[in-house]
Amino acid sequence: MAHAQGRRLTIAPSLLAADFTRLKDEVRAIEAAGADWLHLDVMDGHFVPNLSFGPLVLKALRPHTRLPFDVHLMISPVDPYIAAFAEAGADHISLHPEAGPHPHRSLQVIRSLGKRAGVVLNPATPVEAVAWLLELADIVLVMTVNPGFGGQAFLPSQLAKLVALRRMIAAADHPIALAVDGGIAPDTARLAVQAGADTLIAGTAVFGTTDYAVAIGALRAAGAVAIADPHANDPHTTGTTE
């Protein structure tokens, strides 16, 4: 599995699982613990059945960390809010193709604002939905839970999507991160990286622990094992001599 070699893992803790009474301290702590990006889940109570926070919170946190802000917009319509998140300090802005009538145009807008553009696939959304968006995508994010809440169980059915997307990304003419979000902990991280993911988004498995550096280290180690030996503990190949 040549694609697995040479991949650098990105760890992106999700602020949704942080202590909201101490967000500034949480963001500083996660940077000190070795996070690569800070994932920020924006929910509107309409596109997903939950509410979280908006650009004001990004703006308030922006001076307190150098971590790239990886903003996951779960809002519809998404287009009226893209510029506000860019101005508030987003470095990456990811959207669901269902969140507006013209996702290709939405990605163009994100790129025109000088930000990295991402597209997110819900569990029921097929990989074909991104085929004609890849030319504008810097990130493809596979949801391994239905979006809206932290702490849900990882959906193994989505691993096949990562395998297919890894192939599609390999054929693209520019680098595209392949991220996974939902129920990511060391065991599921290993499966996701084996399937092709290079970016691990995790809320509960990092902010739900007492030592963030240890939690991030455990995710990195699980991913590194999968990169070094993509077939380790793979139920389809364990026991064979290949």
Site membership for ligand DX5, residue 184 (CB under 6 A)? yes
Can residue 92 be called a binding residue for ligand DX5 (CB under 6 A)? no
18 binding ligand DX5? (CB under 6 A): no
- Residue numbers 129-168 binding ligand DX5 by CB under 6 A: 145, 147-148, 150-152
Q: Which residue among 10, 38, 40, 41 contacts Zn ion (CB under 5 A)? A: 41
- Active-site annotation holds for 41: yes
Task: Say if CB 108 and CB 50 are below 8 A apart.
Answer: no
The SS3 call for residue 28 is helix
**Rounded to whole angstroms, how far apart are CA atoms 152 and 197?**
19
198 annotated active-site: no
Residue 14 CB, shortest distance to Zn ion, in Å, is: 6
Of the candidates 92, 147, 143, which has an alpha carbon nearest to the alpha carbon of residue 120? 143
Binding-site member from 16, 29, 117, 179 for ligand DX5 (CB under 6 A): 16
The verdict on 41 binding ligand DX5 (CB under 6 A) reads yes
Where along the sequence are the contacts to ligand DX5 (CB under 6 A)?
Answer: 14, 16-17, 39, 41, 72, 145, 147-148, 150-152, 181-184, 201-205
